């Protein structure tokens, strides 16, 4: 198919049915408290599973943590890129599934949301493009800042964890690779190779630190044992039992009992990615829109390293997995040639992930530097995208209304900051562009504003 941005949100019937069915399934899984998409909601799920919190209270938490992302980030990104995203599809099904009082109602509510997205958003997209001030076309200005600034997230993570010197080295390497890619492979996303090398360097630094720490700990234990032997005291016992081995066993067992349902969920996620109407992240959405599927797969594969430890540990602690698993189903789906293969691969990936959760928890328990790298990667992704989205939103405002639009959109963003961020920071700027676009159209109809030419 062509560029999704050009085609808008006009989905073919199989794509529409897939979205509706997957929204129904994710709402059902959320209702059973087996998985949610919002990482911030997952820690609250244990109290709900164990009966210490009501369904209504848990749904209220989910809504409070999700609403800003749905309407401030998910919807604007879908309208700007012409590609669906997980914030738009799965944050609402988290809420609807938890809110539904009966099992049979949850998938109906989820399917209703899916239908609203595939039919309502497409209509809104066509209507917006027909307005005198076409703010959706202007929002495509966000793509360049998002794609290129996102490339820097490994550099920020290295600086935070290993200091500015190593961060500078990674930064120079990434810049050189971007320049080289632009020169030698102009049709390739310039940040793909740079991000790959940056993430690999970060992981290399972290693994090296953990190996050195383990060697130091073994040497220290050996020295203590030798001292104890010389003093004829009781020998120092080694850590025979790894506390991580049994800490999360009940949650892991609960998830394994529902393995067929997770395999069905994995199949659906991977098929949706294969249909090329869905992107797993902000940068990925614009790459999918440009038809750069291999680059989109690379971006989501690297991003996975920032979220895998978080998803694994919160799943083991709460008994609720991630709706999209470790997100590995995204890049696999982008690259596969047909939905049937995607369904088989997605089911297999989720089966492996769920069965390996306990082992992953034990490994992460022995690699604290790698765990820390994941946290730094997530923080760096947020910082890079926050700046990129803000900058891109101001570019969009400038295109649709010049200085007046910058005043309106920037003012709304600053007002959100001054009032304690009722809309989360990352979603505030795109939401301001949408509101600013509506205001400019009202001013046009009142004959108080003329759209910027060109």
**pLDDT tens digit sequence for 416-454:** 999 999 888 889 999 999 999 999 999 999 999 988 765
- Reduced to 3 states (helix: H, G, I; strand: E, B; else coil), residue 97 is helix
For residues 29 and 366, which has the higher predicted lDDT (pLDDT)? 29
Instruction: State mean pLDDT over 306-323.
Output: 87
Highest mean pLDDT among 201-210, 323-332, 372-381: 323-332
Lowest-confidence segment of 29-38, 286-295, 363-372, 403-412 by average pLDDT: 363-372
CB neighbours (10 Å) of residue 186? 8
**Is residue 378 a contact partner of residue 125, using CB atoms and an 8 Å limit?**
no
Both tokens of 382, joined, read 């947020």
Closest by CA to 139, choosing from 80, 72, 201, 199, is 80
pLDDT over threshold 90, residue 168? yes
Q: Rg of the Cα trace of the chain? A: 24
Q: What pLDDT score does 234 carry?
A: 53
CB neighbours (10 Å) of residue 220? 10
CB neighbours (10 Å) of residue 333? 29
Instruction: State mean pLDDT over 332-361.
Output: 95
pLDDT band at 232 (very low <50, low <70, confident <90, very high): low
pLDDT over threshold 80, residue 31? yes
Q: If 0-12 CB within 10 Å is exposed, 13-18 middle and 19+ buried, where does residue 39 land? A: middle
Domain positions in the chain: 8-152+257-445
pLDDT over threshold 70, residue 176? yes
Spatial distance between the Cα atoms of 344 and 322, rounded to a whole number of angstroms: 19
Q: What pLDDT score does 417 carry?
A: 94
**Is residue 91 a contact partner of residue 66, using CB atoms and an 8 Å limit?**
yes
pLDDT band at 326 (very low <50, low <70, confident <90, very high): very high
**Each residue's pLDDT tens digit, 88-100:** 999 999 999 999 9
**Each residue's pLDDT tens digit, 42-95:** 888 988 888 888 999 999 999 988 988 898 889 889 988 889 999 999 999 999
**Is residue 370 a contact partner of residue 364, using CB atoms and an 8 Å limit?**
yes
Q: What pLDDT score does 363 carry?
A: 84
Q: What pLDDT score does 238 carry?
A: 44
Work out the angle at residue 265's Cα, subtended by the Cα atoms of residues 259 and 269, and round it to the nearest 5 degrees: 145
pLDDT over threshold 50, residue 198? yes
pLDDT band at 219 (very low <50, low <70, confident <90, very high): confident
Instruction: State mean pLDDT over 219-239.
Output: 65
Q: What pLDDT score does 59 carry?
A: 92
pLDDT over threshold 80, residue 230? no
């Amino acid at each position: 198919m062509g560029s999704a941005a050009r085609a808008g949100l006009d989905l073919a019937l199989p794509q529409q049915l897939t979205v509706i069915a997957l929204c129904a399934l994710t709402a059902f899984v959320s209702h059973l408290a087996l998985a949610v998409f919002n990482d911030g909601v997952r820690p609250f799920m244990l109290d709900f599973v164990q009966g210490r919190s009501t369904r209504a209270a848990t749904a209220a938490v989910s809504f409070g943590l999700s609403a800003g992302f749905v309407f401030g980030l998910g919807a604007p990104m879908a309208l700007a890129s012409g590609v669906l995203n997980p914030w738009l599809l799965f944050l609402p099904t988290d809420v609807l599934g938890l809110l539904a009082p009966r099992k049979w109602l949850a998938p109906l509510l989820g399917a209703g949301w899916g239908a609203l997205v595939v039919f309502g958003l497409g209509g809104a997209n066509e209507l917006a493009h027909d307005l005198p001030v076409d703010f959706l076309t202007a929002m495509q200005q966000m793509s360049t800042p998002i794609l290129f600034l996102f490339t820097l997230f490994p550099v920020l993570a290295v600086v935070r964890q290993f200091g500015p010197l190593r961060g500078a080295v990674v930064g120079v390497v990434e810049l050189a690779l971007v320049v080289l890619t632009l020169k030698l492979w102009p049709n390739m996303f310039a940040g793909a190779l740079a991000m790959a090398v940056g993430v690999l360097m970060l992981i290399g630094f972290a693994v090296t630190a953990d190996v050195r720490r383990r060697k130091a700990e073994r040497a220290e234990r050996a020295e203590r044992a030798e001292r104890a032997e010389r003093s004829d005291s009781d020998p120092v016992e080694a850590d025979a039992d790894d506390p991580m081995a049994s800490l999360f066993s009940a949650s892991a067992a609960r998830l394994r009992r529902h393995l067929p349902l997770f395999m069905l969920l994995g199949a659906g996620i991977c098929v949706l990615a294969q249909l090329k109407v869905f992107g797993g992240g902000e940068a990925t959405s614009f790459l999918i829109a440009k038809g750069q599927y291999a680059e989109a797969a690379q971006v989501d594969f690297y991003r996975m390293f920032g979220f895998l430890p978080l998803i694994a540990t919160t799943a083991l602690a709460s008994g609720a997995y991630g709706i999209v698993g470790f997100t590995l189903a995204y890049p696999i789906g982008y690259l596969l040639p047909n939905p049937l293969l995607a369904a088989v691969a997605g089911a297999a990936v989720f089966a492996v992930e769920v069965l390996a959760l306990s082992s992953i928890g034990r490994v992460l328990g022995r690699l604290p530097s790698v765990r820390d790298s994941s946290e730094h990667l997530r923080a760096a992704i947020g910082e890079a995208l926050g700046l990129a989205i803000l900058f891109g939103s101001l570019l969009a405002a400038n295109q649709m209304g010049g200085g007046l639009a910058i005043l309106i959109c920037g003012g709304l963003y600053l007002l959100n900051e001054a009032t304690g961020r009722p809309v989360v920071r990352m979603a505030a700027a795109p939401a301001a562009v949408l509101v600013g676009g509506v205001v400019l159209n009202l001013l046009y109809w009142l004959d108080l504003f003329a759209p910027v030419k060109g």
